[in-house]
Structure 1
Amino acid sequence: MTQSSPHSRILTVGTGAIGAYYTWRMQQSGHCTVTAVCRSNYEAVKTKGIEIQTVAWGEGPHVFKPEHVVKAVPSETYDYIVVCMKALPDVYSIADIIAPAVEASPNAAIVLIQNGIGIEDPIKARFPRNPILSAIAYIGVTQNEIGVVYHSGMVQRLIVGLFEPIEGVDTASALKIFGDICKDGGIDTIVADDIQNYRWQKLVWNGAMNPICILSDLWTVSNVLADPKYKEMVLRTKGEIVALAEALGYPMPSTLIETSMSTSARLADGYKASMVVDLEEGRPMETEVILTNPIRIAEERNLTHIIPTWYQLYKDLIKYFAKRQAKKGSL
């Protein structure tokens, strides 16, 4: 971007580890100001900002101080509303949460930095004239204590693309400006023509590893890969998800499964898939967008025969959750 480039107002909804890290880097670009919606960490962020512990940007200290810190989504005008909350449509409505800002910002682009398939549909239905930028994060960040975000390693990739064009709306500019902000902030940014293809690529890992880690009772990725039976199941399940994606018109890279397995093998001992961590912590899991939505598509298209292992894993996982809930309720 140049000195004449527009200065953007960004609202971050969900200023946890991912939201804090990425919008910190966006603010560092010098092309935007950030308002951060904080709930449990409001007092800490308002007083001291968020400490970012990372080796990717030198020794530091690195502190993210948003221009404004608020407890709830304000009814104010923004250029970008960046959603970094988990996609949990069975728990809350993202559209309802961001409505005050979107209704005050008829031209704002809504950026969804979330996992899963079908996350954009409820937003599109509620706000059909706002550009939706769909984004996928590849980064290891945690917020183990309030106001402190730990970034593991050097990877900080963000893949972003337009969900759908809108007649009479300059969606291309919205995407380009946002991509430039991310790049100028030092984020490893890919602006993609077909973001859904990348969503299915990430689903190959999430869709296979999450249910197998839980149902095998092995919990960690390294334990699963060390067991020949479950390692073979992971391979088979990933292959089925690739086959489903391609049947739906999303060609997958020929090396995707090999790369996915090698990446998994390099993860630290004790690394747990996201749904495992949420299960242990008693938090809602992204079952709907990682499993239910893509499997529902397979059912609607009569393609479940392509995913026999994954389909059975999904059914078994639903039964597993029901038994845990029944056991919990009887205590």
Structure 2
Amino acid sequence: MYIKTRRCETHIETVLECARITRIVEILVFGAGAIGSFFGGLLSQRHDVTLIGRAEHISAVKSHGLRVSGKTSIIAKPHAAMRVPQGAKPDFVFVTTKSYDTANTMIALRAFADRAIFVTLQNGLGNAETIARTARRVVAGTTAHGVTFVGPGEIRHAGVGETMIGAWSRVSESDLVRLRDLLADVGIVASVTSDIRTELWSKLVVNASINPIAALAEVPNGRIVRDKLLLGVLEAVCREATAVAKAEGARVDEEELRHRTILVAKRTAANRASMLQDLDRHHRTEIDAITGSIVRAAERHRISVPLNASLYALVRAREAAFRVTSGANVRD
């Protein structure tokens, strides 16, 4: 396979020249939010894909297809359901739920624990471990594609980003190459890494440096790097989080991660971070799996992370305010 990338100041254009995968692969995407719908929608152009998600979104996809706008413009026609269909025999199961739903998700997916390769593209830490307690073969992955959930049946691809995959448990190199080529065949360029734990920590640092700031300031990602005050906060949060990642054994470099975080914010400039989207809809956020993971690891290593701790407390306070005003729990 040959992948050629052309760069300019305003966009990245990727041209794929590879042998197309001819066998139809059955894929189940559990958690059809923004990212799950994006990956599932693109994969459905070549393969037998079923999205599992919420009633309104699933109903719209069944009726009109999945509309993807922005950097990618298609109307995809995946299968869609609120529950796993009887008789499903997926080759791959993509888990793209919120991190706090992973354990319950695996109860619904345990029938495929021995036959399918499970792929997590979720935010935060701990998801691969949770999945591997049930599933035999697990691939952990990260993606920096920026995707916004516009409404039932519609998502917007707001920014192109890097996707990384690596073996977590009982996955061979040939399995990873097969998955990489499956994604490449529909225009999602993925790289295989031998150190997925470092990649998960790197993605966590990037997320922790963008998501809470965007959520609390109520701005799209690009505004953070254009505003000198917000950029200063991003860089300070990134420094704290990188120190924790190093203490946890991740092979990361502070300057490289700072540059990577700013680059992700620029490439996804028009995107509203997932945490901001959650707060907009009065949903529970993933602050505990993202910034909470950094704060707890910092406590274990006795590292001071005042900015991360402050962002964690503030987002949790916003969630609590929703509970008070609604008289009910924040919606999951």
Whether these two folds match at TM > 0.5 is yes
In the alignment, the residues of structure 2 paired with residue 89 and residue 250 of structure 1 have an alpha-carbon distance, to the nearest angstrom, of: 26
What TM-score do you get using the length of structure 1 for normalisation? Answer: 0.79
Structure 2 residue 169 is matched with structure 1 residue 158: no
Structure possessing the higher radius of gyration over alpha carbons: 1
Kept in 1, the 8 Å contact 2:224–2:230? The answer is yes
Residues 248-296 of structure 1: per-residue CA shift (max 9 Å, x gap): 1212244220342354357647x54322221121011012211223332
Q: Percent identity?
A: 26
Mark the CA change 1:93 to 1:248 in structure 2 (over 3 Å): closer, same or farther: same
- Report if the CA contact (8 A) 1:237-1:310 is conserved: yes
Q: Does structure 1 residue 192 correspond to structure 2 residue 200?
A: no
Tell me the matched-pair count: 308
Q: Deviations over 1:110-140 (max 9, x none)?
A: 111211111112212233xx21111212222
Residue 9 of structure 2 is matched in structure 1 by: none
The whole-number CA distance in structure 1 between the counterparts of 2:318 and 2:57 is 33
Paired position in structure 2 for 1:18:
35
1:309 to 300, 303, 307: 307
The aligned counterpart of 1:137 is 143
In structure 2, runs of 5+ residues without a counterpart are 1-17
After the TM superposition, which residues 1-331 of structure 1 pair with which residues of structure 2 at under 5 Å, given as runs?
7-28=24-45, 30=46, 32-38=47-53, 39-56=55-72, 62-66=74-78, 68-75=79-86, 76-89=88-101, 93-100=104-111, 102-103=112-113, 106-127=114-135, 130-153=136-159, 155=160, 157-164=162-169, 166=170, 171-213=172-214, 219=219, 221=221, 230-253=230-253, 254-264=255-265, 268=269, 272-299=272-299, 301-305=300-304, 307-319=305-317, 321-322=319-320, 325-326=323-324, 329=327
Report if aligned partners of 1:209, 1:234 keep a CA contact under 8 Å in 2: yes
Aligned counterparts of 2:21 and 2:153: Cα–Cα separation in 1: 34
Query: In structure 1, what is the Cα distance between the partners aligned to 2:262 and 2:318?
Result: 26
| SS class of match (1:15) | coil
CA gap of 1:121–1:55, structure 2 versus 1, over 3 A, is closer
The two structures, once aligned, show a CA RMSD in angstroms of 3.1
Q: Deviations over 1:127-176 (max 9, x none)?
A: 3xx211112122222332322232235x1542211123x3xxx5333322
Structure 1: give runs of 5+ residues left out of the alignment. Answer: none
Aligned to 2:3: none
Q: How far, CA to CA, are the matches of 2:143 and 2:269 in structure 1?
A: 19
| Aligned-partner Cα distance in 2 for 1:209–1:20 | 22
Looking at structure 2, the residues matched to 82 and 35 of structure 1 have their Cα atoms a distance apart, in angstroms, of: 10
- Amino acid in structure 1 at the alignment position of 2:38: Y
Retained in 2: the 8 A contact 1:119–1:289? no
Please give the secondary structure, in 2, of the residue aligned with 1:93.
Answer: helix
Matching residue's letter, 1:202? K
TM-score when normalising by structure 2: 0.79
